[in-house]
Amino acid sequence: MFPILEKLLVVQDRDTRIGRLKAEAARIPGEIAAVEARVKTESAKLESARNQLKHLEAERKKLEVDAETKRGQIHKYRGQLSLIKSNTEYQALLKEIAHLEDAVKEVEDRELELMAQVEQLQPQLREEQQLLQDLTARAAAEKAELQNRAELIQRELSQLQAERAGLVKDIDADALARYERLLRSKGDAVVVPIQHGNCGGCHLHLAPQVVHNARHDDGLTSCDYCGRILYWQPE
């Protein structure tokens, strides 16, 4: 293989590795955000369960006060019965007492329903608390691992970029410019082998003269279709 191609292949190797590391580094913030989002979602579920429990407790206390108020009215009306002389008024007051007693029964039934809901919700709340605690611990470990990976990537990138800077100093300026122009336009491997008479990049069949040039010309030979730089390797 001609020296210029060997040098470009080494640079291409560094560029490929640099590209992969940059892509991985670009994904890390999103992965961290996804970890944080899972914690936020679980935290919201816990907060919702807490709010539901608070609402049930508040409603139960309100019913408790309502029932106590009605019992007070019943007690008051019963005390008034002995003072009433009119049978009509007596019956009317008895009817009111019965109505209040029915209302108290309804309130007490509703209180029992709420207490059952509270008892059902409390284990769920404890479970949500444990889930959030476990998830938070795992999330912290995942974030630390991702942040460590990001730091490692930056160190690897710095090393590879320094290596690349040293390598390109020994490459003909025109050849390097051609390589970098292709790299910007293709975004992947631009120095490719000839495989069974085909371009290793676009995979189209090459003219015999192009293959001959790649084998024997110490300059750079390009694919007529995609423009990639070709090199010959024994099959």
Tell me 205's DSSP state: B
Q: Are 7 and 167 in contact (CB under 8 A)?
A: yes
In this prediction the pTM is 0.73
CA distance 102 to 100: 5
Rounded Cα distance, 18 and 25, in Å: 10
Question: What is the model's pLDDT at position 85?
Answer: 87
Which of 215, 213, 195 has its CA nearest to residue 205?
195
User: pLDDT tens string for the chain (235 positions)?
Assistant: 799 999 999 999 999 999 999 999 999 999 999 999 999 999 999 999 999 999 999 999 999 999 999 999 999 999 999 899 899 999 999 999 999 999 999 999 999 999 999 999 999 899 999 999 999 999 999 999 999 999 999 999 999 999 999 999 999 999 999 999 999 999 889 999 999 999 999 999 999 999 999 999 888 999 999 999 999 988 7
Report the C-alpha gap between 81 and 201 in whole angstroms.
Answer: 104
Looking up tokens 């409603």 gives: 59
Domain 8-171 has CATH 1.10.287.1490: yes
Q: Contact 211/232 with Cβ under 8 angstroms?
A: yes
What pLDDT was estimated at residue 141?
98
pLDDT at 217: 87
Q: Yes or no: say if 56 and 117 are a contact pair by the CB < 8 Å rule.
A: yes
The Cα 84–Cα 60 span in angstroms is 36
Q: Phi and psi at residue 101, in whole multiples of 5°?
A: -65, -40
Q: Structure tokens of 103?
A: 């209302």
CA distance 230 to 221: 6
Q: Where are the domains of the chain?
A: 8-171, 172-235
Closest by alpha carbon to 233, among 184, 200, 204, 206?
A: 200
Residue 53 neighbours by CB under 8 Å, 6+ apart:
118, 121, 122, 125
Which of these, 47, 53, 45, lies nearest to 114 by C-alpha position?
53
CB contact set of 177 (below 8 Å; sequence gap of 6+): none
The answer to whether 210 touches 197, Cβ cutoff 8 Å, is no
HSE at residue 94, side-chain half, CA atoms within 13 A, is 8
pLDDT at 146: 98
